[in-house]
Amino acid sequence: MADNRDQGWSRVMLASSGATLEGHGPSSYGPDSAMVEATSSSLPIPRMKELASHGRIDVREAIAMRHDCTAGILASLAFDPKVDVRVAVAGNERTQKVVLDHLAKDRDGNVAAAVARNARTHEELLGLLTRHRKSDVRRIAVKRLARMEA
């Protein structure tokens, strides 16, 4: 099974190039301005907040993946209706403990798997994830706990 974080980064990189994703999105004439902004290293926090509620999933996902994304923005994106955005939040090392606790209970196993992979996920939560209903999540959590104990 492919790593969802890699797929997310691939989509973000492709979208920022200006290529069309699945017949939707920016034209072939140049990069989409919202995606360029979302991936810009000099994105101001007020604009980041605006883009976090953008209509396009890939823009919100790019914001959720940012290493400089604020805790408040990540917390709001944790409730996004689209799983790709929640996976990006769950995989972001800046995501706060309380948000990771919430995302570990997500109905989609890919979100819980991203929580289990997150270096910030605490030992107690990993212990809970070893009993998750999805075997992939359990396997990742067991491996992470073993590395912590080593």
What residue segments make up the domains of the chain, in order of their start?
Answer: 4-20+32-149
Burial 8-22 (b: 16+ CB within 10 A, else e): bbebbeebbebeeee
3-class DSSP state for residue 24? strand
User: Which pLDDT tens digit goes with each residue over 42-62?
Assistant: 999 999 999 999 999 999 999
pLDDT at 11: 52
Q: How far apart are CA 140 and CA 16, in angstroms?
A: 30
pLDDT tens, 102-134? Answer: 999 999 999 999 999 999 999 999 999 999 999
- Amino acid identity of 96? Q
Contacts of 36 (CB under 8 A, 6+ apart): 16
Of 105, 103, 119, 113, the residue nearest 136 (C-alpha): 113
Confidence of residue 13 (pLDDT cuts 50, 70, 90): very low
Contact between 63 and 53 under an 8 Å Cβ cutoff? The reply is no
pTM of the model: 0.79
pLDDT > 90: percent of the chain: 75
Residue pair 104/79 in contact by the 8 Å Cβ criterion: no
- If one counts every other C-beta atom within 10 angstroms of the C-beta of residue 42, the result is 6
Reply yes or no on whether the pLDDT at 29 is more than 70: no
Checking if the pLDDT of 20 tops 90, the result is: no
